[in-house]
Structure 1
Amino acid sequence: MLLRPNTNTNSLFNIYKSLFDNNTDPCYAMDLEGTFLLFNQSAVDMSGYTSEEATKMSFVSIIDDEYVDTSMNYFNKVLAGNRVKFEMAMRHKNGKKIELSVTSVPLFDHEGQICGIVGMAKEITEQKKLETLLAGQNQVLEMIAKGSKFTDVLASIIFLIESVSEESLCSILLVDKTGERLVHGSSPNLPDKYSTYINGIYIGPNAGSCGVAAHSKRTVIVSDIATDPLWSDYKEIALQYGLRASWSSPVFDNQQEVLGVFAMYYKYPSVPTERDKELINEATHLTSLAIQHYKAEETINYMAFHDDLTNLPNRRLFSEKVKEAISRHKDGNGRMLALMYLDLDRFKLINDSLGHNVGDALLKEVAYRVRKCLRDTDIVSRQAGDEFTILLQDILKIEVSSIAQHIIESLAKPFMVKGHEIFITPSIGISFYPVDGGDVDDLITKADIAMYQAKKEGRNTYQFYDVKLDKKTFERLEIENELRKAIDRDEFSLHYQPILNLCKNQVTGVEALIRWNNEKLGTVSPAQFIPIAEETGMIITIGEWIFSTACKQLKKWENEGFALSISVNISIRQFYQPNLIPMIESILKETNVSPEYLTIEITESMTMDVETATNILQDLKELGVNISIDDFGTGYSSLSYLKSFPIDYLKIDQSFIRDITKSKGDESIATTILLMAHNLGLKVIAEGVETKGQLEMLKKHRCDEAQGYLFSKPLPVEELEQFDKFKETKTTT
């Protein structure tokens, strides 16, 4: 413990305590374990934690992850009797990063033994930002001098500004050769489809922040996109991707002519500080230097009409080519104008598991192979992300089928990308002019509808547009629109399916399964709305709701004396999103649930990138939760990978359980999984158990647990609590 005053030292102690408490710099005192004992008001103001909160915390808990090891080293040096001064960063209670210069010294007791640490910190966030800005400026200027790729220089400017203004998302738009439009320059961290949407916007008095900034030749500050009239034509797309504020400043050349616009977006309503305004000025200055250095009409014009990654025509050039083809087209002889819409199946899985560098390289290879399948007169473009459109002119329907099949066969061959062997398949939708549409937008829309039908048909195929598909597309859009409002309307609920221990014939846990009942659509099957939630990104919010609701219910049962665990499924999009671990950790703390009673279920397909998956699983295990691999036997895992994963359960997919009493093959697969899992120290849960014969077979081969309609279907809480075997989980006191 720290020294306390006696009668003789009381006056001196009060002087020191007053100096400590009233120091304008943050001051602290810690015990030998690093737990705060004292925290002055300046430290409270800087950190956001009250003195009472701080004195229950270890200093490690508020340090930025990047500096934990360094800070621990200095902590140990002070415990060894040294005075240290070093730089580090902490996280404010609201998550904001704060850069600090810290001085720490040992504190000695009456016997000369070190009994704690006392220290003082000085915030140097602005100093660090200035250092970063100066270093970044030099790097950008060096890139310009060396003739680096124009788009790389623009991206470097954006990365620099985003690093200094942590929560901003930036873009650079360039004035095209006509002087009437703004075209995409760089926006590495904005959503791809948003950047594509605003590419080619008109310069004018009502064209969003960027169009107005270029038109008025002044900085335009929109603090809330949702309410500002300048965004009336664009706010829906901006809000769809979570953009709420936009600050746009024109980029001038030496003659004060507008070259482009630098924009900073935020995901919450916001107005710039004086420091932010200085940052915007610096960004436009660097952008101006870059554009003027590289300005060549053919370069910027090419960028306006071509995709930077694949060098294919972009959406704008493709639209113009289709319009030209329609104007030239003559009916007769059965020859038509066809438009293909090609989407790569499960491309996001590759991007999330192997990284964007691998994904980008794969897109280049796909573009090359598709071009090789086409005639010289055909045009292929990249629309956005993993979507391509193809224009086929003067062609018969049978020839279109042949080309589509040729593309499918070409993409079926494995890709070797950065050391990875990758298999990818396309879904292709096809529309015809003039049968399916009279203009480019109609043809693209109809081909897109057909492409989604191709996905429903099992992917890796092509589908011609049929008017009957419009109804299915409308239904899908209706589900998507209603889904966006479901949480606010409290339309979701959880049903719970019991999991039984087969030796004890007792319920040991439940699996939480989401259900949706909508006033307009009625009961919507998860098989319908979960894929849509995945595609749109709504699964992140829905997944957080599931975790929170399940943990609250688990805590309620725990308080009522029920002893059981809850299993929660997560999707691949949730698994690879950076906020997964903090989100689960926050909910565990908020609900005060014991983590050992929560099981996270993942599917095998999520573990394609073994190294990344292992790191995420390790982070989950550090929270104290259990991990189960769901649908085992249908995915990618191998024995060698399983041994490296920190998992607790395997769930045998119900497709192997269904015919386990009839098929020697399924019985062999199930028994092999059981034997392998037990040898690895894992427990096995059988899914989809529906008959007593299946149950007896599983017991015979020592399966640990099972769930299925033989025991109970998924039930709402009220019905589950009346289930006899559930009642038996209540402990007696």
Structure 2
Amino acid sequence: MKKNEGIKKMERLLDHSSANEFYNSLFIHNQDASYGMDLKGNFILLNDSFIAISGYTREEIIGQSFHGIIREKDLANTEIQFFKVLNGEQSTFETSIIHKQGQVVNLLVTVIPMVNAGGDIKGIVGIAKDITEEKRTRKLLDGQNKILEMIAKGFKLEEVLTSITLLMEDVLDGGLCSVLLMDHNQGILKKGAAVNLPLEYIDFISHGVPVGPGSGSCGTAAYTQKPVIVEDIESHKLWNKHRDIALKHNLRACWSYPVLDNQSRTLGTFAAYFPEQNKPNDVDMIVIEKATYLTSLAIQHYESEEKINYMAYHDELTGLPNRRLFGVKASQALTNKTETLALLFIDLDRFKLINDTLGHNIGDLLLKEVANRITACIRHNDTAARQGGDEFIILLDNITKNKVESIAMRILNTLSTPFYIQGKEVFVTPSIGISMYPEDGHHESDLLRKSDVAMYQAKKDGRNTFRFYDLNMDKQQEEQLMLENELRKALDKNELSLYYQPIIDLQSSKVISVEALLRWKHPSMGMISPAKFIPIAEENGLILPIGQWVIESACRHLRTLDLKGFTFIDIAVNLSIRQFYQTNFVSIVANIIRETGINPTRLHFEITESMTADVQLTTSILNELKTLGVSISIDDFGIGYSSLSYLRSFPINILKIDRSFIKNIPQNKEDQDIATMIIFMAHKLGLKVIAEGAETSEQAKFLVENGCDMAQGYYFSYPLNMKELLSYLGENASLIGD
């Protein structure tokens, strides 16, 4: 059946009024493979993604039965699912196809009946997601854990090596694997494991494979300590001596990798054989490197159990004790304990952002440095361990509460000092929770849970601090969980709204812009402070949809201001750090500007100093935003760690002086000096200055006298909802900028 005939057949089966829409959304634009079949299981329609996944052209697939591409072992179940759908059911299941080039492609398939206007089933429609790499990764990880467990439990070496070869045969479809062990005394390789290779070939290698140049793939790999990839045994010179026995048993390609120990001593080889010409791709190489790693680990275990024990009880990245060893030491310390001890739970604030922006390599190096600094802060008889991810736990033995506070403060100070990693200045802060024995519990699990609760309280209280556990925290955590659940519903229930605080030009005393402030009015709890729900949204990722809603709403309100004649009022929107570093953030903003039709020069984004740590990435994002026409402000300036040289490189327009430097003016001389210095510095850099939190006439007068450009605060106006803002602007028309 030709392609155009298939399309026509599909369109006849569909409601004509929606055929094009259905076709475009389900087939042409779907990133997953989409297809249609008739009642016989013949393909009548497919999209480009299906072609990419299968490797076949449309002409090769259209009109053919699914039997022709489904992997044999999955064919029976696929037929069962096909007939279930023809009986009116929907089905989601896993299957696999054979790519045109021969490799297996694993798919997660959802199929539904194709029903015409009369209710008759005329075929099926399916969507197939490629899960090959996902399944491969899952198999590899599960298999690795099983093998590590076997090693730790003392299984025989041959059993472990056999499990490794079987795992790799499962992951490398079509491959037969072997492990050969180096006999340094005889200078040969001996069979370690090769359960599925032909018996005659196993017998051949069991007599020993010489190690040296030109001695097949494995002998050469062991000699050179480099991988030897033979894509075609029939023509490769390394197989001149052993070609016949390999070809006799349909072994056509061989990839052999040396297995080395930590001192680069040859332990053996890992090899994969294939029945046809073949060469490894990037994924295959990663899989085989994992095989050689596990093989090396298993062999070295039987040469040195001490190393395996160390790995079982220590974190691979940092070298600190892991959770298992920490548990042993905690149990020992708590046994027959009479004096006090403390358990500290440390979580690095916003570490995920460092990974996402600077890369996992920088993140790993940072964790190693953090581990070193933590270790330097505690006593020799204390235990610091890596709990996992960016979490660390510390056991302080025989210690007073005052001394615990001293050590916690030392950790805060040392971790808050900048890190210098691969030429980058990296900032990180910790949140620390502390539980004490015996008052907070008598078991490690109790102390760990309560220190975790206290750590979250430290985060809630602003991060970069520590908190001791108390009973009220459990109740607060329950309340926070409830608040998080309610926040997830708030957008859909229209409980969120924007209020606007006017920003005044201090020279003309006119309103020139407003800052959008997010508010949440819950039906039973009333108005909920942003200080309560914004940190929750940032932590669980809700800040992304909420942040997008804020920008969309602010832009719609900007259009409303235009329609009401207030065409000279700009709107400033605060950005969260996760929102700013969202990979498609600039395109989201561009779409909103286009859809709402606003003048982008009247939209301002406010970012905090913490969002400027990665100068290169931040500059790139800001330049893209500037290209759209929006303006950029640095919010809360003075409380972070921005460098003046960095500020000069950023395409920003405005600095906002944090309210903490304004609230004590004119009483506090130091705050006056800081505010004056920021105004002077900003003007030297060609930037405008907005002062936040102006609440008195004395503060407003001080700002005017010291050349501050703009200000906002209760002295001028409280935040107003949109209706109140329109009234405010209408009643103060003479005070509106133009």
Normalising to structure 1: TM-score of the pair?
0.59
Partner of 2:294: 294
- What's the offset of the Cα at 1:426? 3.5
| Among 608, 621, 640, the residue aligned to 2:626 | 621
Residue number among 566, 574, 578 corresponding to 2:571 in the alignment: 566
Aligned to 1:115: none
Q: Does 1:534 align with 2:538?
A: yes
Distance in 2, matches of 1:402 and 1:659, equals: 31
**Secondary structure of the equivalent of 2:708?**
coil
1:330 paired to 2:369: no
Aligned: 1:173 with 2:149 = no
**Cα distance in 1, alignment partners of residues 651 and 24 from structure 2:** 36
Give the AA of the match of 1:493: S
Tell me the CA shift for residue 360 of structure 1: 1.9
The 8 Å contact of residues 426 and 613 in structure 2, kept in 1 or not, is answered as no
Matches within 5 A, 1:233-312: 255=195, 287=287, 290-291=290-291, 294-295=294-295, 296-297=297-298, 298=301, 306-312=314-320
**Partner Cα separation in structure 1 for residue 541 and residue 499 of structure 2:** 23
Rounded Cα–Cα distance in structure 2 between residues aligned with 1:542 and 1:318: 40
Residues 425 and 613, structure 2, Cα contact 8 Å, conserved in 1: no
Aligned-pair distance for 1:516?
0.8
Give the CA deviation at 1:492: 0.8
1:362 maps onto 2:366 in alignment = yes
Q: Does the 8 Å contact 2:31/2:49 carry over to 1?
A: no
Cα gap change, 1:323 to 1:611, in 2 (>3 Å)? same
Residue 642 (structure 2) pairs with residue 637 (structure 1)? yes
Question: Whole-Å Cα distance in 2 between the matches of residues 413 and 293 of structure 1?
Answer: 37
1:315 deviation in Å? 3.5
* Structure 2 residue matching 1:721: 3-state secondary structure: helix
One-letter identity of the residue aligned with 2:294 = Y
Aligned equivalents of 2:502, 2:30: Cα separation in 1:
39
Kindly indicate whether residue 482 of structure 2 is the aligned counterpart of residue 478 of structure 1.
yes
Would the aligned equivalents of 1:339 and 1:392 in 2 still touch at CA under 8 Å?
Answer: yes
- Code of the residue aligned with 1:554 in structure 2: it is L
Q: Note the residue ranges of structure 2 that are not aligned, 5 or more in a row.
A: 7-19, 34-46, 56-106, 108-128, 152-166, 172-192, 197-280, 302-306
Q: What corresponds to 1:494 in structure 2?
A: 498
* Distance in 2 (alpha carbons) for counterparts of 1:645 and 1:532: 29
CA shift, 1:549, in A, is: 1.3
Residue 611 of structure 1 aligns with which residue? 616
Quick one: distance in 1 between partners of 2:523 and 2:319? 47
Change (3 A) 1:636 1:283: closer
Distance between the aligned counterparts of 2:396 and 2:562, measured in 1?
64
1:524 corresponds to: 528
**CA distance in 1: counterparts of 2:640 and 2:668, whole angstroms:** 21
Work out the CA distance in 2 between the residues paired with 1:395 and 1:655.
37
Equivalent residues of 2:343, 2:396 under 8 A apart = yes
Q: SS in structure 2 opposite 1:484? A: helix
Distance in 2 of aligned mates of 1:289 and 1:607:
38
Q: Deviations over 1:492-528 (max 9, x none)?
A: 1111111223344332221110001123433211111
Distance 1:301 1:283 in 2: 30
Residues 579-600 of structure 1: CA deviation (Å, up to 9, x unaligned) = 2111111211222222112111
The residue identity in structure 2 corresponding to 1:330 is N
**Equivalent position amino acid for 2:724 in 1:** E
Correspondence for 2:688 among 678, 683, 686? 683
- CA drift at 1:622: 0.9
Shift of 1:127: 7.1
Q: 1:575 Cα deviation (Å)?
A: 1.5
Find the aligned partners of 1:129 and 1:382 in 2 and give their Cα distance: 44
Counterpart CA distance in 1 for 2:311 and 2:721 is 56
**Match of residue 514, structure 2, among 507, 510, 526:** 510
Number of paired residues? 507
Selected match of 1:576 from 548, 560, 581: 581
Output aligned runs, 1:21-40, within 5 Å. none
Please list the CA deviations of residues 52-94 of structure 1 after superposition, one character each: whole Å capped at 9, or x if unmatched.
Answer: xxxxxxxxxxxxxxxxxxxxxxxxxxxxxxxxxxxxxxxx977
Residues 583 and 319 of structure 1, relative CA distance in 2, 3 Å threshold: farther
Aligned to 1:343: 347
Q: Structure 1, residues 90-146: CA drift from partner, whole Å, max 9, x if none?
A: xx977899xxxxxxxxxxxxxxxxxxxxxxxx989967998xxxxxxxxxxxxxxxx
Name the amino acid aligned to 2:317.
L
Match for residue 203 of structure 2?
none
Q: Which moved more, 1:300-309 or 1:576-585?
A: 300-309
How far apart are residue 632 of structure 1 and its match?
A: 2.5
CA distance in 2, matches of 1:615, 1:433: 50
Work out the CA distance in 2 between the residues paired with 1:166 and 1:509. Answer: 53
The answer to whether residue 554 in structure 2 is matched with residue 550 in structure 1 is yes
Q: What one-letter code is carried by the residue in structure 2 that aligns with 1:577?
A: Q
Q: Taking structure 1 as reference, are residues 604 and 726 closer, same or farther at Cα in structure 2, changes over 3 Å only? A: farther
Q: CA deviation at 1:424?
A: 4.7
Q: Give the counterpart of 1:429 among 407, 413, 433.
A: 433
Taking structure 1 as reference, are residues 255 and 317 closer, same or farther at Cα in structure 2, changes over 3 Å only?
farther
Q: Give 1 or 2 for the bigger CA radius of gyration.
A: 2
Q: Is the 8 A contact 1:562 1:730 kept in 2?
A: no
Q: Tell me if the contact between 2:499 and 2:519 (Cα under 8 Å) persists in the aligned partners.
A: yes
What is the deviation of 1:330? 0.9
Cα distance in 1, alignment partners of residues 659 and 290 from structure 2: 59
RMSD: 4.7
Deviations 1:201-245 (A, max 9, x none): xxxxxxxxxxxxx9xx99xxxxxxxxxxxxxxxxxxxxxxxxxxx
Partners of 1:506 and 1:725 within 8 A in 2: no
Conserved 8 A contact 2:432-2:454: yes
Counterparts of 1:397 and 1:500, CA distance in 2: 50
SS in 1 for 2:531: helix
- Give 3-state SS (helix, strand or coil) of 1:174's partner: helix
Within 5 Å, which residues of 2 pair with 1:379-418? 379-393=383-397, 400=404, 403-404=407-408, 407-408=411-412, 411=415, 415-418=419-422
Distance 1:711 1:48 in 2: 54
SS at match of 2:317: coil
How many Å separate the matches in 2 of 1:514 and 1:580? 19
- The amino acid of 1:607's aligned partner reads T
Superposed displacement of residue 730, structure 1: 12
Q: CA deviation at 1:467?
A: 1.9
Residue type of the alignment partner of 2:319: N
For 2:290 and 2:495, the matched residues in 1 are separated by 52
Matches within 5 A, 1:34-183: 171=138, 172-175=140-143
Provide Cα deviations, 1:685-722, integer angstroms capped at 9, x if missing partner: 22222223333333344433322212210111121121
Query: Are the structure 2 counterparts of residues 301 and 610 from structure 1 closer, same or farther at C-alpha, using a change threshold of 3 Å?
Result: same
CA, structure 1 residues 729+481, in 2 after alignment: closer, same or farther (shift >3 Å)?
A: farther
Q: Which amino acid aligns with 1:570?
A: L
1:448 aligns with 2:452: yes
CA distance in 1, matches of 2:589, 2:538: 19
SS across alignment from 2:449 = helix
The residue matched to 1:366 in structure 2 has which SS?
helix
CA 411–301 in structure 1, closer or farther in 2 if over 3 Å, else same: same
Report the Cα offset of residue 649 of structure 1: 2.0
Unaligned ranges ≥5, structure 1: 1-21, 25-43, 50-91, 98-121, 131-160, 184-213, 219-252, 257-280
Give CA-to-partner distance per residue, 1:288-331, whole Å, 9 cap, x none. Answer: 784366333448887665434223344455446545655xx014
Three-state SS of the structure 1 residue aligned to 2:142 is: strand
What is the DSSP-based 3-state SS (H/G/I as helix, E as strand, rest coil) of the residue aligned with 2:494? coil
Contact 1:315 1:381 survives alignment (8 Å): yes
SS of the aligned residue for 2:484 comes to: helix
